[in-house]
A and B are shown apart, each in its own frame.
Chain A
Amino acid sequence: MRYHPFTLPFSIGLGFIMLYIIVMWTIWIVRLSRREQKIVWKRLFSFRTISAIWESIREGLLHRNIFKRNVLLGYMHMSLAFGWFMLIVLGNLEARLYPHGVINPPYYPIFFEFFRHDLTPLHEYEEIFTFLMDFFLLMVISGVSLAFFKRFRSRTLGMKRTTRHILIDRIAITALWFIFPLRLFAESVTAGLYNTGHFFTNFIGQWVIYNLPLDYLYYPAWWAYSIALGVFFITMPFSRYMHIPAEILLIFLRKYGVKEKESHSTFTKIELSACSRCGICIDACQLSTSLNISDTQPAYFIRDLRYSQPNERLRETCMMCMRCLEACPVGIEITRIRENERREHPLFSASSYGYINGYKYPKAKVAYFAGCMGHLTPSVIKSTLALFDAANVDYTFIDKNGSICCGRPLQMNGQVEAAKQLIDKNNHLIGESGAEVLVTSCPICAREFATSYHLAIPVLHHSQFLLELTQQKRLNFNQSGLKVTYHDPCELSRGLHITSEPRELLQHAVILSNGSKETESKSLCCGGSLGITNISMAERNKIATDTLNEIVAESSSYLATACPMCRKTFANAQDKIKVLDIAEILEKNLNFAPEKVSEKNQSPIKQQAVIS
């Protein structure tokens, strides 16, 4: 016997989902731009493919990234994905090894035990197969139990909040949760009747045989199992579970070098579908942890964008701090997607800033750019310039008489046309100044200069520049012995991946002590962010104090920052700890007796320390 009507729900579901995946993958690939298709094609037969396969296994099945966050949560995802995968693979092998030929209908291995009660023809493999099938079933069941448990006590699995799901997701989850208990039941009933199982299903089978009318349950159990599978497959494309096929394609395309562009593209569609709504981004977001705003994070934003349009509140309520980006196990370019979505709502026209036309920056060799935020913290400028003087740097403070904003605030709020005007103007003026290197104390500007400008000269954050001066022995510091906590600004750590230079520099004058694991790429935002407009000052201050409470070590005398805006925000929010910029701390500990090296014998700056 190779057929029974109960297999229909499963078969229909499987046929549907397979067809759907093939159609969607084809549409997505065909709709990639010409250039993207070309690079994919060119790189298809290269090491990248192997590395993509490995990543698919590592993230799609084993979920290493989630393991890194929380072992229990990782195990939950891994047991479901890997356990199920192994059941499918082993089931197929088992059915093929059975001495009735290797060609079977697709449902056959899934319901193998229904069709074959006598497993002895498998000979020496019988024991190992029945054992492994039971083992992986137990693994999946443990994962499902954890998932169920997580709905009620998510904290145990390291999650403060779980995603609130919409109807289609709930149906799909329910079906998914039922699949494995039903499989267990169907197999146990069969094992109870025909001894087809191993330690797990036979054990339960023994129990049910004495307690339940097995003969009546045999068919309903298999029917129910098949229906659960069918429902899951049918709901999959419309629910969060579309992430399974989409994520695999995403991993491959990303490996070939396809990425988000300046506006939504087909790749965006794939990324949107690849979000599993796992909710890890919700906990990572300080809007949620500090302000209880827990409905605008990527889990929801991406969901709404996938189905239609996120509303204005959803689009705008985000600091663009990139913490979620860092936390997302799928690696979706969340912040880029949100910025692109904001771009579709321009509010400033391309002719907003005609009034800057006549402005000029002076001639310079080493150009120092304080930026808007720099100008708000004159003490930072003063200290930075004092250090430059001490090191005999031939610098020009090019925006002394006023800086044209770098354009990043506009850009983060989606106002690209307007930002472009400022960028073009600054680009031109900086070029005209003849500078050989551009140094800024504002990470916001540094990031913008490095990524949106096409400057022919190196752009350095002042921490990088000062570190080089120190390494060239042009600056010398006294070790004060004071303990200081360093805060990584978002734009510097996540935006430009500059985390070691400020630390190395500070260690010349102070001892670093950190009270938290949330540093470097995981650093907490100060709350001052220019990427958001719709939170109040009180809310910003709440974020700032929460961040300080988390990161400042007991013993620290100061908080050191590398961003004038963070400095201002932290200082405004509280007066428990004094906040100073790196340059200020260094200037305090400057040792004025280095051998004077004349500027002429020194290259202004080595060229390698360029921000990407």
Chain B
Amino acid sequence: MIDFGFAPMEVSVHNMDTADLSLAHWINLHDETFNHCIACGSCAATCTAGQFTNFSFREVCHAIRRGEIKSAIDESEKCMLCGKCTLVCPRNVNTRNIIMLIRKANLTFRP
């Protein structure tokens, strides 16, 4: 086939009925502020790591809510724990705690 430099997009239908929400539930159990996020993106806008790479706490949370556990866990490692996001979050989401929880989940939840 001729390489046009681009290809059809992968199908990304997401079936929430079959999504693995175990990590979401587990995090919620330990830090209920996880549920307070309104996906405003303030954390991503201020993120220290986000200046250098494609990383956003909002997206990590989003992935967890979609059951994409592996990618969320892998992404979470880019965080530098600097704490800026905690100070800007309008919903007082305990962002660093959630990052730490995701990192801990790395030891138990990794599929």
Q: Which residues of A contact B (CB under 8 A)?
A: 347-349, 352-353, 355-356, 359, 372-373, 375-376, 401-405, 407, 409-410, 413, 415, 422, 528, 530, 533-534, 536-538, 565, 568-569, 572
Contacts and interface: CB of A to CB of B under 8 A. Distances in A.
B81 A530 contact: yes
B82 A372 contact: yes
B87 A376 contact: yes
A376 B88 contact: yes
Interface in B61-87: 77-78, 80-84, 86-87
Q: Which of B81, B84, B96 has the most CB of A within 10 A?
A: B81
Given A359-B52, A372-B48, A422 B80 contact: yes
Contacts of B96: 409, 530, 533
A347 B100 contact: yes
Contacts of B78: 352-353, 355
B84 A352 contact: no
6 closest A-B pairs by CB:
A347-B103, A402-B51, A355-B53, A537-B92, A405-B80, A372-B82
B94 interface: yes
B23 to A, nearest CB: 15
B39 to A, nearest CB: 18
Nearest to A410: B81
A347 B48 contact: no
Interface residues of B, number: 28
14 contacts: A352-B77, A353-B49, A355-B78, A359-B52, A372-B84, A373-B83, A375-B48, A402-B52, A409-B81, A528-B87, A534-B97, A537-B86, A537-B92, A568-B87
Given A359-B52, A409-B80, 11 more contacts: A347-B103, A353-B49, A355-B55, A356-B52, A372-B80, A372-B84, A373-B82, A376-B46, A405-B82, A534-B31, A565-B83
Contact of A373 (B33, B80, B84, B106): B84
B96 to A, nearest CB: 5
Contact of B100 (A376, A413, A536): A413
B110 interface: no
A576 to B, nearest CB: 19
Contact of B83 (A348, A407, A422, A530): A530
A536 B48 contact: no
Nearest to B98: A533
Given A348-B103, A355-B52, A372-B48, A533 B94 contact: yes
A24 to B, nearest CB: 36
A96 B61 CA distance: 77
